[in-house]
Structure 1
């Protein structure tokens, strides 16, 4: 990618809080118009990384370039070009939908006729026209989510940061939300979104898997699945819990987890014959190599440390 094609670049970004290193040597490059995801469990550094990339936190080490400009020293100038939707609903619950939109418009110096036109456009776009006089605090999770996204994009940001935006909504609203993100992406907005949902991570053009503030993997979801450092064996049969216990004790087994009537086993690629390794411990069971999923990639990258 050329310099003009890169919307966001981080180089060895590090942030410490006392003895805790929340973000450790994070480097990434995000193309303009792409949807890029941070995938990881709670406490892995996703929110801290986003705050560093927006300038809300100052890094102890490393550099960030936002829309072609160094972030350091240009935070105020870049505020009008980026949008940020926090994990927790952060608008005023005692104000109406319309009042919240007007307030945020004023913050971004969207005024007068331009503000009215933009607010009317967003109310219609996000299905809030009939609720513009409703107090934000009385809305459902999905409605609050749409309002928060409307506020985050009221000034037409070139770069949009979303910190676990769908954590409090149902699957139908999550799906609708992602369709809206793709509309923004198609219009040229670059989006960085954090999530712990595998299905959302698969929707991203590119993603980083984070653990303990460290980037364990980076790339397009399909590429990550194709290059996974483990083979996946699916075992079918009865009494799978006993089989799982036996297989989990093997040093070359990264993870074994039951999915319905199957056992999904991740075996290190250092083993030439994964099925041959497992067969002596799985008599009278059906074993087959299967394609890896993004969840398999995540488990492989983290050594199964976040799987129950």
Structure 2
């Protein structure tokens, strides 16, 4: 019998906890993500998804817990982690009064990338932005802003992408094109942790993590979560898991 092989872990955190005042927003979360996988992070607004993502990439210091990101300690190596991770926020983090090219050039300067002009040219071409490179970011539609934000996340060739509701507010075609790009990146060995509210997007992930009230409710493949919840589909499973969590915290 062949022994199953496991890929190295891109994310391996245990007991992550974050408090603001007297309120615990992330409560002892443990999460493991294998290299090259696409993992969906699902949960209602205020469930702790964004806070967890920020702790993983070194932007927030946990009040408790420990772990590694890309083999680097999330507490001691936060600066090094930031150079290896592409983090895409919900608001994309673009400068509206700069052009597409100027936005990418600014990010390239921050990372002190060599051959900056060629690097920006390559980023423009990779995401189909060359023809629009002189257009101001503030004048772009949601789909084009999303594409520019992804180009900015990829310009320093990260090994891990942390995407915080990247398709919110964009049209269905832009969402589909975005996910096609994400799967191409995963095939190249890039790991992706993506938060989303869309069940059709969740079904395109290798595995899922459901979170509510700062705690993980379920994790595994879509089929396994649906079966465990005794549900008919992912949306039904999501509703049942959140309802159970509400009862537990009532």
TM-score normalised over the length of structure 2: 0.92
User: Which residue is 2:60 aligned to?
Assistant: 57
1:63-121 per-residue CA deviation (whole Å, 9 max, x = no partner) reads: 12011121111111222111111111311110000011111011112122xx2233222
1:130-149 per-residue CA deviation (whole Å, 9 max, x = no partner) reads: 11001100010000000000
Identify the structure with the greater strand proportion: 1
User: Which residue is 1:89 aligned to?
Assistant: 92
- Distance (whole Å) between structure 2 residues aligned to residue 8 and residue 2 of structure 1: 17
User: Which residue is 1:182 aligned to?
Assistant: 183
Q: How many residues are aligned here? A: 243
Paired residue secondary structure (2:52): helix
Q: Which one has the largest radius of gyration?
A: 1
Q: Following TM superposition, by how much is the alpha carbon of 1:123 offset from its aligned partner in structure 2, in angstroms? A: 1.2
User: Which residue is 2:234 aligned to?
Assistant: 294
User: Which residue is 1:30 aligned to?
Assistant: 33
CA contact (8 A) 2:58 2:78 kept: yes
- Distance (whole Å) between structure 2 residues aligned to residue 87 and residue 178 of structure 1: 16
Q: Following TM superposition, by how much is the alpha carbon of 1:227 offset from its aligned partner in structure 2, in angstroms? A: 2.5
Report the aligned-residue RMSD. Answer: 1.7
Paired residue secondary structure (1:203): coil
CA contact (8 A) 2:40 2:209 kept: yes
Moved runs in structure 1, 4+ residues, more than 6 A? 1-4
- Distance (whole Å) between structure 1 residues aligned to residue 216 and residue 21 of structure 2: 21
CA contact (8 A) 1:94 1:136 kept: yes
Structure 1 unpaired stretches of 5+? 233-291
- Distance (whole Å) between structure 1 residues aligned to residue 108 and residue 170 of structure 2: 25
1:179-218 per-residue CA deviation (whole Å, 9 max, x = no partner) reads: 1100110001001111111111111111110111110001
**1:40-189 alignment to 2 at 5 Å?**
40-112=43-115, 115-189=116-190
Residues 215 and 125 from structure 1, CA distance in 2 versus in 1: closer, same or farther, beyond 3 angstroms?
A: same
Paired residue secondary structure (2:203): helix
- Distance (whole Å) between structure 2 residues aligned to residue 45 and residue 146 of structure 1: 26
User: Which residue is 1:255 aligned to?
Assistant: none
User: Which residue is 1:248 aligned to?
Assistant: none
* Higher normalized contact order (CA 8 Å, seq sep 6+, divided by chain length): 2
Structure 2 unpaired stretches of 5+? none
CA contact (8 A) 1:3 1:68 kept: no
